[in-house]
Structure 1
Amino acid sequence: MEYLQALFQRKSGSLAWMQGLAWFIFFLIFCYLSLASWPWEFILLWAFINTLFYFTLVYINLGYLLPQFFLKQSFGIYTFLIIGIAFVATPLKVYVNRILALSFDHNLLGWTVDSKLTFISLIIIPALSSLARIPLDWFKMLSEKKELETKNIETELQSLKNQINPHFLFNTLNNLYALTLKKSDMAPEVILKLSDMMRYMLYECNEDKVSLERDLKYITNYIDLEKIRLNKNADIAIQITGDISKTRIAPLMILAFVENSFKHGIKNSIGNAFIHIMIEMHEDVLELIIENSKESVVAGSMHNHRLGGIGLSNVKRRLQILYPSRHSLLIDDQPDLFRVHLTLNTKETI
């Protein structure tokens, strides 16, 4: 299935080549079926004319009858037309073959074509072309659908790349302004971190896959800047283990979950607020666990965990399209705790 999808993604060139090869083989079959005693010029011309005859009928079927009747479920009309065309074409084909024989050698006049066999072949060959075309059209539709889904998710991802959360950005600038008024030594560090984040968001995220190490650097910068505006007593911890230097993932995938924990975790939690982030790499498998405190369930809390402006459903769809059958996402939403457990197989597929 993946081969056929890739074939259609290469558009019409490969298909045209395959069709040409199929008709050439069909031509060779006619040459093989001819009598050895026939002149070779007659064999080649006879095989060519008969191949051209079937070629015309097949493409009348594929170009008109199949899409206009069969695919619109008018099976009775389609069957009637196929049989009717075969009924009309049979004597025509027999006549053309006799004229061809007469033009070459009067000794060939004794050679005859079985009309029944011709009639059956004029039904079977177009029917076989339909049986071949229907699954090919299905694979083409499947390929186009997947391509459209990929383009849609790329558009959504591009939109995400182009938007830095305004609330986060304004808070960071306000904190930076306060630090400069106090002539704090932290101001230059904040400027560097914010600059690095914007550079990553605007320039380095244009690839389909980015270095996990670089993506996590963006996240640690995000966490460091968030800490400036938060309660100093908040328990915020991030732990990264395993070799992340060679792994590549879709950009900003983890950010949505981290951003959610800050936006709807510490801000709305009551009592001892905390965010615990654990990221571990086992060979090709990335494991992410985020736990954050949250406020008790109250009216309107259904909106508490929309992820970073794109929504949980959007993140799930990105995972389904970019990592089909290669991820597991478990979300545990308790009255005072929100937990995300993501397992991601980052191994590149061919």
Structure 2
Amino acid sequence: MFKNKKSIELLPTNSISWISAQVLFWLIFISIWLYFSPKEWSYSKDVSWTLINTCFYIVLVNVNLRFLLPRLMQSQSMIIYTSSLLGLGIVLTPIKIWFNTHFCYGDLLCPNWITDAKFHYISMIVLAAISSLVRIPLDWLTVQKEKKELITKNVQTELQFLKNQINPHFLFNTLNNLYALTLKKSDDAPDVVLKLSDMMRYMLYECNEKEVPLEKEIQYIKNYIELEKIRLSKNAEINISIEGEYQSTRVAPLLFIPFIENSFKHGIKTSLNNAFINIQFMITDQEIQFIVKNSKSDHLPGHGHARKVGGIGLVNVKKRLELIYPKTHQLEINSLPDAYEIQLNITTNK
């Protein structure tokens, strides 16, 4: 029984919260027991009898929670657990009957000892079973909460790692282009430095937030495109269009740039005629629709089959989408006869 099932983790029974809960429970238990004790007894006898009986229940419950129940979780055998619990009840019941009989009657056995034995045995087993039924779900909820907190922390760490990744090829190419411009004493060099500085500032400082204004994300994309244009052939056509109001829209940072990087990497070649990249944003109150379409470079002589759309950047952004927008995004990557097309829809709240 319980074979091939995931075991339930139990929390330590020596924690302050667990001990406090037990103390509170047994105080309530003693109060109830005192209330139902025989009225003809003196108060001191009543309290003594209650404490003696409570000690047996405390022993049984704690042996169950500290030893038997953890064994059940490890062995996954209900038969062993039930047998051990019933056996413990059989051992404790005659001792409990002897104490009660000696305390109440001063004899070895009371007239109704069989009935008393059944009552005490059943009551101990029921209380032990109740303690198990209470502890398992409570511990399960606590463990799940701790796991959720750990997962959340790991997710945040992973997201921080993914969004802080800087494309080394892009940075290297930009610095090379900047070096060439400075050698030519081009007037474009200061503008390149300014755009690159803005991009680095955005990546390193502003992207630490869970969400950023879509306006800044789009500006980052525009800077990226302008810097990439430096190395491209004049035959390459790059268009970006934005429809809708987006000033108040927020989105997770650096979600769109990996798709655009991929389109430049696989869709634009300096020797490819009529190469193009079309980028489109359509923003509504509840949704961001992002489409990037680029020409295929396999039309070049010597290029056979189309290159697969992918790469580490796209793998990372897919992971981020699953973590941040698990049920509120839709990603489609299509290979058309003459182009690649990526469409991403994200449900947002402004």
TM-score range, shorter chain: 0.7 to 0.9
Cα distance in structure 2, aligned partners of 1:339 and 1:221: 22
Task: Tell me the residue number matched to 2:317.
Answer: 315
Task: Tell me the residue number matched to 1:278.
Answer: 280
Cα distance in structure 2, aligned partners of 1:281 and 1:344: 10
Over aligned residues, Cα RMSD in angstroms? 3.7
Deviations 1:310-350 (CA, angstroms, capped at 9, x unpaired):
442x33332222222222222223343222222223349xx
Q: 1:293 aligns with which of 292, 295, 299?
A: 295
Deviations 1:122-156 (CA, angstroms, capped at 9, x unpaired):
22232233334434454455445544444444333
Q: Could you tell me how far 1:195 is from its partner in structure 2?
A: 0.6
Work out whether 1:306 is the aligned partner of 2:305: no
The alignment's TM-score, normalised by the length of structure 1, stands at 0.77
| Structure whose residues are more often helix by fraction | 1
Q: 1:70 to 1:264 in 2, by over 3 A?
A: same
Task: Tell me the residue number matched to 1:80.
Answer: 83
Work out whether 1:182 is the aligned partner of 2:181: no
The equivalences for 1:1-350 within 5 A come to 25-31=28-34, 33-34=36-37, 53-97=56-100, 114-267=116-269, 270-296=272-298, 301=306, 304-307=308-311, 309-312=312-315, 314-347=316-349
Q: 1:187 to 1:332 in 2, by over 3 A?
A: same
Matched letter for residue 81 of structure 1: S
> Do the aligned residues in 2 keep the contact of 1:149 with 1:321 (CA within 8 Å)?
no
Cα distance in structure 1, aligned partners of 2:234 and 2:16: 63
Equivalent pairs: percent with the same residue? 51
Deviations 1:84-134 (CA, angstroms, capped at 9, x unpaired):
11112223344455666689xxxxx99998332321222223223333443
Q: Could you tell me how far 1:225 is from its partner in structure 2?
A: 1.2
Q: 1:136 to 1:289 in 2, by over 3 A?
A: farther
Cα distance in structure 1, aligned partners of 2:23 and 2:343: 52
Matched letter for residue 273 of structure 1: A
Cα distance in structure 1, aligned partners of 2:219 and 2:319: 25
Q: 1:182 to 1:336 in 2, by over 3 A?
A: same
Cα distance in structure 2, aligned partners of 1:220 and 1:13: 57
Deviations 1:156-198 (CA, angstroms, capped at 9, x unpaired):
3333344321110111112112222333222211111111111
> Do the aligned residues in 2 keep the contact of 1:62 with 1:130 (CA within 8 Å)?
yes
Matched letter for residue 121 of structure 1: S
Task: Tell me the residue number matched to 1:106.
Answer: none
Cα distance in structure 2, aligned partners of 1:235 and 1:146: 47
Deviations 1:172-231 (CA, angstroms, capped at 9, x unpaired):
112112222333222211111111111121222223333333233222221221122222
Q: Which runs of 5+ in 2 are unaligned?
A: 1-10
Q: Which runs of 5+ in 1 are unaligned?
A: 1-7, 104-108
